[in-house]
Amino acid sequence: MARRVIRLLGSQDENQDLELCAKFQAYSARYDVETGLLGFRAFQEATTGLLEFASTSQDQVALIWIDLLNLRREFTLAGWSGAEAMVGRVTKILREIAGPQAVVGRFNGRSFLLATLVSDCVEDGRRFAQLVADELMPPGRSVTPCAPEIAVGVAFSPADTLSAEELLRFGCLAASYAIQTRSSTVVAFQPNMNNLLIRDHEMEFELSKALEQCQLRVAYQPKIDLASGQLLGAEALIRWNHEKWGYIPPGDFIPIAERSGLIHRLFECVLRTALQDTRGWMSMGFNIPVIGVNASVANLRQKDFPFVVKRLLEELPIAPCELEIEVTESLLFEEEELFIERLHMLKQIGVRIAIDDFGTRYTGFDVLSRLPIDAMKIDKCFVRGIDRSPDMRALCLTVIAMARQLKMHTVAEGIEEVGELDVMQQIGCDAGQGFLFQKALPVDEFSAFMRTWPVFSSGFGFAGEDDLEVLGCALDATDSEMEEVEPLIESS
């Protein structure tokens, strides 16, 4: 109908044009023009009718909220035709699976809604919701063009609420929880989700206030050369001690900052502080070869992100090569071309780039070879207990071999035990950080750490200059192990 209206709007009969426009507006007020599914308001009205019908029987109404997660990526990769094909596929499946007493709608482009009668047993409703999810994204399926990636939440009436509006809100909450937890199964609404949402809103407000009032602090964790024991630099880490809630882990407030847009102010706060502190250390005679600052996926998506980095480097100058921006692999899987473009823009400024938490997303050699990466940080989950796990040793050896071929520096994260340090040294990892050396410290304490580290490091038995030749021979032995895995890397 939309195409018909657009085609005829140019006719000479003005009255006919106005009539068609009025019909189109009336249609689009109730229906999603692209799919013909009910729009949000019409869907809510239809769901109200379904609740009234269910009240006369022993049935439950299940509200299934489906978020289409990769629609933007499909548009980026395949254009409008690709996105349209994905939406069409989801619409077709939902129409086929919906029974005669079900209503299907679409909201805000990427959200699809299905309300249907189910038996009085809520567990049956959950099974039906999982059936819908499996039809849309079959378990174990290979990635194909137009294949949707989804997060699904479900809520029930009267079990959760008697109101259609609340039922929709609860279904949305459950889907949001599925996104946050990266759940591969349907998430059913729980009352505490509402409390979590209220807590999130409170935390967002408090975080905004903390940024305005400079209540956040930056701590620094040292990076150590695993051959010589020299201090190679530090990673700047955000810390928040709330006056009432106490210490809040970054894992609790960073996702809220990303969803709310506060992440951009947060990044600027950390980078500005890190540059100020680095300049302060330089004036005191300390040498910090590289200072690392984390950038989130949301930061990299920001169009002017590289210019923010450049502006702050101009305001608080240090050599660009002394700043390292640490990024995660996740954006590479969502928007590969955007990820590569942003990294090349950062590289043009002259800063170093590190892939953080490497190994959690299994980026292939062919993709890594296209990236202007200086360092690869091996995730702590692979380092933990490596001295007791031949499999983890082999895995890390493969990562280090890959990094060598790509001329990347390697850093082992989360070294906490001497045995882990020994293995990472044996397999040729360049650097490490973790509690074994030092936890993240406030700026003043880190200054004291730099004064004492040359003496303290001797207790770890790092090689002195006279020992480096011996260490090189030991690493030559490891090279034979490297030769075994390099053909596998080249074929990946």
Taking a C-beta distance cutoff of 8 angstroms, is the pair 352, 327 a contact? no
Give the lowest-confidence range in 81-85, 286-290, 407-411, 449-453.
Answer: 81-85
The pLDDT score that the predictor gives to residue 473 is 47
Q: What is the pLDDT of residues 411-450, one digit of tens each?
A: 999 999 999 999 999 999 999 999 999 999 999 999 999 9
Q: According to the model, what pLDDT value does residue 463 have?
A: 64
Question: 484: pLDDT confidence band, cut at 50, 70 and 90?
Answer: low
Q: If phi over 0 gives left and psi between -120 and 50 gives alpha, with beta otherwise, what is residue 261?
A: left
Backbone dihedral angles phi then psi of residue 102, each to the nearest 5 degrees: -120, 155
Tokens 């400024």 belong to 349
- For 467, the 3-state DSSP assignment is helix
Q: What angle do CA 19, 21, 23 make, to 5 degrees?
A: 70
**Burial code of 149-162, b = ≥16 C-beta within 10 A, e = fewer?**
bbbbbbbbbeebbe
Q: For the chain, list the domains and their CATH numbers.
A: 1-30 (no CATH), 33-189 (3.30.70.270), 211-490 (3.20.20.450)
- Tens of pLDDT, residues 195-244: 877 888 899 999 999 999 989 999 999 999 999 999 999 999 999 999 98
| Mean pLDDT value across residues 71-96 | 83
Burial class (CB in 10 A: 0-12, 13-18, 19+), 242: middle
Among 123-132, 298-307, 386-395, where is mean pLDDT lowest? Answer: 123-132
User: φ and ψ at 225, to 5 degrees?
Assistant: -70, 120
Residues 480, 275: Cα–Cα separation, whole Å: 42
Least confidently predicted of 48-62, 119-133, 373-387, 445-459: 119-133
What was the pLDDT predicted at 289? 94
Tell me what pLDDT residue 474 has. 44
Q: What is the pLDDT of residue 144?
A: 58
> Quick check: 129 pLDDT over 60?
yes
Q: Classify 183 as helix, strand or coil.
A: coil
From residue 356, how far is each of 282, 361, 377 by CA, in Å? Answer: 26, 11, 5
- 254-290 pLDDT tens trace: 988 988 889 999 999 999 999 999 999 999 999 899 9
**Straight-line distance from the first to the last Cα atom of the chain, in angstroms, rounded to the nearest whole number:** 49
- Phi, psi at 59, each rounded to 5°: -85, 160
